[in-house]
Amino acid sequence: MGFRFSKRVTIVPGVRLNISAKGVSTSIGPRGLSMTMGRNGTFLNAGLPGTGLSYRHRLDGGRQGCSTPAFDSDDYSGSIKIKVEDDGTLLITDEDGNDLPPALVRRAKTEQAEAIQQLLEKAAEKVNQELEACLGVYMATPGPGASPKLPPAFAEEQPVMAAAPSSGMMERLFRGKEIETERLRLELQYQQDLADWTAARDAQETLINETRKAFRLAAQGFSAQMEKALDYVLSGIAWPKETIVDYEFTHDVTGVALDVDLPDEDDIPRRTAEAKGNGKLSFKNRTDAQVRRDFVGLCYGSLFRVVGEVFALLPAIDKCLVSGYLQRPNPANGKVDEPYILSVLVTRAEWETLDFARLEDIDPAATLNSFGAVVSLDRSSRFREIEPHGIAALG
């Protein structure tokens, strides 16, 4: 079944890198929206569960820290939190999630109708992003010769030593030892923070230099650096669904075969959302036929993206064989089958006929089929198992 002998290690939450003897595999996997209103204004809060990442944006156009009482009343003067539930309804509570008086809830909906509409629109975008990412997985495909992206520059600001507490003559007289102890503590903390910052900066600069060197030598055809560069690029693709890629170069390093462990059809989002101005999200369920077509598009788009990354990064590669497979439980024996569903051999000459300045006009399915993709779909657009190209097809 190809070259699926890999070890998986986690890089960051939601992104996984899979390392094998011949290459790398990578994978990446609307909650978290709320709005807070209070004396200091109205804010949209967005977070990605499990990552510690969050976003906060002011909606009312005021200045941070201004004193504009929003919901003061005789019986309540705190902040109000408005959250979009999974079913699209609004949940209006205090900051701790406790219920509020009905009158206050009605007042919040009336006085903050515009801000609430913005919140719902953001929530709709968040719901729809998942499907859009699946259908547009190929839209970031680089063209041949495109420069690969280096790791980002180190952007963390250098730490500054905290100011020691000011003290008068009497305080120094009676609390001199305590003040000196605090000063020494702040000094030691600063030195530790500075050492950590310096180590992080040096590590990032080393990564940038090593990656730049790998890209340069990979472009010159050095096989070890080709693997290192491809490892880095594949691990950096933000797949909309978990997608694992294993690869192996030919002996003369002019061809590469890739196996892509594709997502499951059940991973395709089955609904879209719209904020119609009625105070809640409206959902529309996609039909089974639409979901199957979406899944076909995701599979073709994923393989298209992988081929593009290879040809853009590695000028020495003349042929790219990419095959996609699924993992399906077999109820007959309790094991997981791994049937191939799509396989295509693409030459660089064929790939260079595409207009990458107009990716939005390209249909990955039509493109890969025109290159002789091996695929079989039944009448309901479900993939049938196929016999993929073997690595010998690379010559």
* SS3 label, residue 117: helix
Nearest to 273 by CA among 141, 139, 154, 131: 131
> Could you give the CA distance from residue 212 to residue 232 in angstroms, rounded to a whole number?
11
Min mean pLDDT across 99-103, 172-176, 275-279, 282-286 is at 172-176
Model pTM above 0.75: no
Q: What angle do CA 91, 97, 100 make, to 5 degrees?
A: 70
pLDDT in tens, 219-262: 999 999 999 999 889 888 877 777 788 899 999 999 999 999 99
Whole-number Cα distances in Å, 121 to 98, 268, 274? 25, 22, 7
DSSP 8-state secondary structure symbol assigned to residue 12: E
Confidence of residue 352 (pLDDT cuts 50, 70, 90): very high
Better pLDDT: 305 or 55: 305
Min mean pLDDT across 164-178, 193-207, 273-287 is at 164-178
Question: In the predicted model, what is the mean pLDDT of residues 23-34?
Answer: 39
Pairing of strands 255-261, 319-325: parallel
For residue 137 the two structure tokens come to 């997985």
Q: What is the residue extent of each domain of the chain?
A: 7-29+212-394, 33-135
Min mean pLDDT across 82-86, 274-278, 333-337 is at 82-86
> Could you give the CA distance from residue 249 to residue 255 in angstroms, rounded to a whole number?
6
pLDDT at 197 over 70: yes
Confidence of residue 44 (pLDDT cuts 50, 70, 90): low
The predicted structure's pLDDT at residue 171: 62
Please report which helix (H) or strand (E) contains residue 197, including its range.
helix 169-219
DSSP 8-state secondary structure symbol assigned to residue 260: E
The predicted structure's pLDDT at residue 308: 96
Confidence of residue 28 (pLDDT cuts 50, 70, 90): very low
Amino acid at position 328, single letter? R
> Could you give the CA distance from residue 91 to residue 118 in angstroms, rounded to a whole number?
15
3-class SS letters over 294-354: HHHHHHHHHHHHHHHHHHHHCCCCCEEEEEEECCEECCCCCCEECCEEEEEEEEHHHHCCC
pLDDT at 349 over 70: yes
Confidence of residue 93 (pLDDT cuts 50, 70, 90): confident
pLDDT at 271 over 60: yes
